[in-house]
Amino acid sequence: MRLFVGLGNPGARHQGNRHNIGFIAIDAIARRHGFSSWRRRFQGATAEGAIDGERVVLLKPATYMNESGRAVGEAMRFFKMDLGDLGVFHDELELPPGKVRVKVGGGIAGHNGLRSITAHLGPDFQRVRIGIGHPGNKKLVSNYVLGDFAKFEEDWLAKLLEGIAEGAPALAEGDGSVLSNAVSRRLAPPKPERKKPAAEAEKAAPAPQAAAARPEPDPEPVAERDPQSMLQRLAEKFR
């Protein structure tokens, strides 16, 4: 049995914050793997289900970030779990946007959620570090992490969530590398096409007299403005 915890702050005004990527990630896992509805429990919200036969409980603490350890500790004691059964999804300033690294133990790097969990339970739990990038100036960090993801970030965010949801079965068995690789495959840029040697290209080219004029393509239709929020649109991808 595993406990996956997403770190974030409760309430509608924090829903799309970069600091809430932990909440957003386990929401994606719940949708992809058909978990139960969320219910109030352990000073937070939980959903339960099975991933490839492994029972998993998802938890979103409602204690605010700097008291996350209270909710996590209560759930761990209830289920009689060890630290090895705990996986925590959280935002990571020191990783580029969309980059994911999984490790066990380590420092807190100024993250209040990790600080609280470490204070209550100790440091030796699995961390799923989800890169959100750094604003470049320490004075801007607070506003940056508590700001919403921008519209131009929707593409990489959707691919990130798909990779996390796909890699969740391996993570439930303790293998974080599969999850990291699943995210990387989705975010990796396409390989450039191999250029043909000049002689080969000349041989393959049609004779001038045989070339037919191609009609101009129709202009692309202009997409209407989507009234849904970014998170609503991302949620639709997992239904």
Catalytic residues: 19
Provide the b/e sequence for 65-101 (b: ≥16 CB within 10 Å): bebbbbbbbbbbeeeebeeebbbbbbbbbebebbbbb
Task: Show the tokens assigned to 150.
Answer: 């921008």
Contact call for residues 91 and 108 (beta carbons, < 8 A): no
Q: How far is CA 174 from CA 3, 50, 90, in A?
A: 12, 15, 17
Task: With CA atoms as reference, report the closest residue to 130 among 21, 210, 43.
Answer: 21
SS3 149: coil
Handedness of CA 24, 115, 176, 54 (dihedral sign): negative
Owner of token pair 């004779």 = 207
**Measured in whole angstroms, how far is the alpha carbon of residue 64 from the centre of its chain?**
19
